[in-house]
Structures are given as structure tokens and as C-alpha cells.
Amino acid sequence: MDDDRARWSVIIGCILIVGTAASIDVVLFDSSVDDALVLMTVLTVILLLCLLAWRSILGFPARETDPEFPSRRSLIIQLASIVFVAFTPLMLRAFEVREVEQTLTQASRAAFSSDDAQKVEMRLAAARANRLRVDSRVLQVAGAAFINTSGENPDAWSTVREFLSYRSFLNVSLYPKVTPATGTSNYRTTVTITNLGPHQDQPALHVIFAGGYASGENSARLESLANPQPVGSEFSYFIIEGGNATLGLDGEFMKNVIIRDADISYAGGAVRLENVWFVNCTFHDYTLKGKATNLGETILASASVTFVTSS
Amino acid sequence: MDTEKAFRLELWDAELRPWFLHVIPDAIKSVSILGVLLLFWEGVALLRFLGYPDDLLQRLEKTHFFFIWIALVAISINFVLKLVISTWRK
């Protein structure tokens, strides 16, 4: 155990042999991961026993009474490799962000085909999944280009939905972090559910008062335009936590509302949104009708959405 | 006072210094191996980002999982065996 170089050769040898054997087992022989783990355990034990037997035959090296510190050159190389490894993921992320931005910029400049629209959609979905943060101005310009051409190129609308979802992902770090409020209110909230997902065990949506007291005019609202409430909620914010349901915007009056992790639908109808934050939402049922393009542009333009339309 | 100083010197020379001399190089090497595996993981993420097929990427992810598993096992065994053998020799 005192022979440092030999010991680490054995460790690296073990890693290479056992890791490669398990990879071959899964890739070439279609074994399950569990079987590969059993194989790895058995191989590790066999290698360890072989090593002990080999050392017993040859004899353990004499104990070092005064171990030496690694040489400066060795230390510098090892520390440099650690720094390199630590910074490489950051460089890779920066490269990936630039790649997405270039794709968006190129797509927004040229007349794009259905393939281009699909490529942009996939890139944005991958960027969202990998939590890459693209510049919101690039996103706004490219998204507006897709929205403007969606009339002639209906394939682009699916990409527009992904733009909206991505913008709401960017809002994760921007929305006001208010805490749930205690107390009660006579205010009656109304939300529209347009669809239910397959996970029936999950709650449809969860509405929370948040941010403390606010006077009537400044307080949050969450009601139907067809059934207006006489006074505000007297709470600063409403938080709508997404669940199994799709939240409809048509016919809603929302003021100071944070919508988190929800699926959003909109069919271009009347809506009044004041200081509404879409955070990590998806827009699967956001259809190309009525004022949907205008609301889409507004969502892409800023984190907090204020938008009023009567049709 | 002199006794305390002598004790500190002896503690450093006889116990702590050899321990550091063993642990620091081992820790650096362990982190280097895990770092290489982190690069492997980032490489897979980059390939996914560039649009390579999911089937290939899932196989690479499994491969990565196996290597990280055996690396953690080997590194842990190294540290445990070192402690056991040094205790046994005392």
C-alpha cells in the first residue's frame, strides 16, 4: 500500500477493466443494468483477490518510514488538470448557449422552412431541459419573427409555443419571490380549466394568497371577466401552482398573479392580464386564433405580462 | 511550555505530516479520476445537444454510470484499505 504509483496503476486498471466489461455486456449483449452491476461486483472482488494473492506471493513492499510529498511538477500537472476539468463544463455551457443563440438569430433573419422551425423547436426544448439561459433579447427578436410568419407557415406555431415555454423558463430567476400569506379573504377566485391530464392523482391546480396585505386597488385579482368581483382580494399576489389541469386564459382577469409550472391554453379571446408572471410554464394548447399573436409577443417581450384585449 | 512545544512538534512530525503526505496525493488523484468522468458526462450532454440519436446517448449514459460506479468503489476501497493496513501495521 505504500507503493503509490503501483497502487494507482492497479486502481486505474480496475476502473478500466471493470467499466469496459460492463459497457460491453450492456452494449453488445443487451444485458440489463442490474446484470451488469452484478458482473462488475464479481469482477471487482476477483481482481481484488488476484491483487492480494499476487502481493502475498511477491511480498508487500517495505513500509516507507518517511513518505515523500509529490514533486512540484506532479502537483502542478494534477492541480492544472483539476482546474481544467472544473472549468470545462462552464465552457461547454457557454458554447451551447452561443450555439442556440446563433441558431435563433439565423432562423429569424432568413425565410425559414418547416425543417428550420422544427430544428429551432428542438434546440429550445434541449436548452430548456439543460437549463441553458439564452439572451432574452435574442429570444424576443427570433420569437417575433416566427410569430409574424405563423400566418403563412402554420408549422411555425408549434415553435412559437416552445418560444413561450422557454421565455417562461427564463422567468424562473426573475419573478418576485413572495411567501404565502396567512389570513382569509371573502374574495372569490375563479380559474378556468380547459383540459385535464392523465395524472388523476395530482391536484388540478393550487391557488395560494401571497405577499401580505395590499389595499383594494393594488391588490391581486383572479376572476372571470364575465363575473367581476366588487373589490380586490386585499392580498398582494396570487400564486397558481400547476398540476394536472390546463389553465385557460380566455375570459380571465388576472392582476398580480404568478403562474408556476402550469400548462397554459389560450384561444385568442378576451383577457385582461396585469402584472402576470408565467414561470416555467408550457403552452401546449395555445392556439393561433384572435389575439394569440399579440399576447405571444407581449409574453416574449418581458417577464411581467400586462395585456388587455376585449376580443 | 517546552513540553507542550515538543508535544506539538512530535504530533506534527510523527502523526499529522505522514497522514497529510498520504491523504493529499490520494485525494488529488481521486478527484482527477472523478473529474475525467465528469468530462465524459458533459461530453454526452454536448452530443445530446448537437442532436445525436437518443439510443446512442442512452448507451453512453449507461457506460458512464458503470465507470462512475467502479471509480467510486475503487477509490473507497483504496482509502479503507490504507487505513486498515496502516492500523494493522502499528
Q: Is A62 on the interface with B (CB under 8 A)?
A: no
> Nearest CB to B49: which of A12, A82, A130?
A130
Q: What is the pLDDT of residue A111?
A: 62
Q: What is the pLDDT of residue A238?
A: 92
A 66-125 residues inside an 8 A Cβ radius of B: 66-70, 75, 78-79, 81-82, 85-86, 88-89, 92, 95-96, 99, 122
By C-alpha distance, the chain B residue nearest A82 is B32
Residue B9 inside a domain? The answer is no
Q: Which chain B residues are Cβ-neighbours of A99 within 8 angstroms?
A: 49
- Provide the 10 A C-beta neighbour count for residue A206: 14
Domain count, chain B: 1
Residue B35 inside a domain? The answer is yes
Residue A282 in 3-state DSSP? strand
Q: Which chain A residues are Cβ-neighbours of B82 within 8 angstroms?
A: 1
CA separation for the pair A295, A124 (Å, rounded): 20
Q: Cβ of B31 and A89 within 8 Å?
A: no
> Nearest CB to A36: which of B25, B45, B66?
B66
Q: How far is CA A221 from CA A64, A112, A232, A268, in A?
A: 76, 41, 6, 21
Pick from B40, B69, B76 the residue to mutate for testing the A interface (most A CBs within 10 Å).
B69
- Provide the 10 A C-beta neighbour count for residue A67: 16
Domain with B36 in it: 25-89
Residues 6+ away with beta carbon under 8 Å from A171 = A277, A278, A279, A280, A303
Residue B12 inside a domain? The answer is no
Q: Is A230 on the interface with B (CB under 8 A)?
A: no
Pick from A4, A7, A11 the residue to mutate for testing the B interface (most B CBs within 10 Å).
A11
Residue B25 to chain A, least CA–CA distance (Å): 7
| Across B67-83, average pLDDT | 86
Q: Cβ of B25 and A27 within 8 Å?
A: no
Q: Is the pLDDT of residue B63 over 80?
A: yes
Angle, in degrees to the nearest 10, between helices B17-49 and A72-109? 20
Residue B18 inside a domain? The answer is no
Residue B1 inside a domain? The answer is no
Helices (H), chain A: 4-29, 33-58, 72-109, 114-129, 136-149, 156-170, 292-301
Residue B17 inside a domain? The answer is no
Q: Cβ of B66 and A75 within 8 Å?
A: no
Residue B82 inside a domain? The answer is yes
CA separation for the pair B41, B37 (Å, rounded): 6
Higher-confidence residue of A194 and B54: namely A194
A 178-217 residues inside an 8 A Cβ radius of B: none
From the list A217, A250, A211, A249, the residue with the least C-alpha distance to A231 is: A217
Residue A211 in 3-state DSSP? strand
Q: What is the pLDDT of residue A9?
A: 84
CA separation for the pair A62, A41 (Å, rounded): 30
What are the pLDDT tens digits along chain A (311 aa)? 456 777 888 888 888 998 888 888 887 887 788 888 888 888 888 888 887 787 777 766 555 555 566 677 777 777 787 787 778 777 778 888 888 888 888 887 766 677 778 888 888 998 898 888 999 999 999 999 889 888 777 778 889 999 999 999 999 999 998 888 887 778 888 999 998 888 888 888 899 988 888 887 889 999 999 988 888 888 999 999 998 899 999 999 999 999 999 999 999 899 999 999 999 999 998 888 888 899 999 999 999 999 999 86
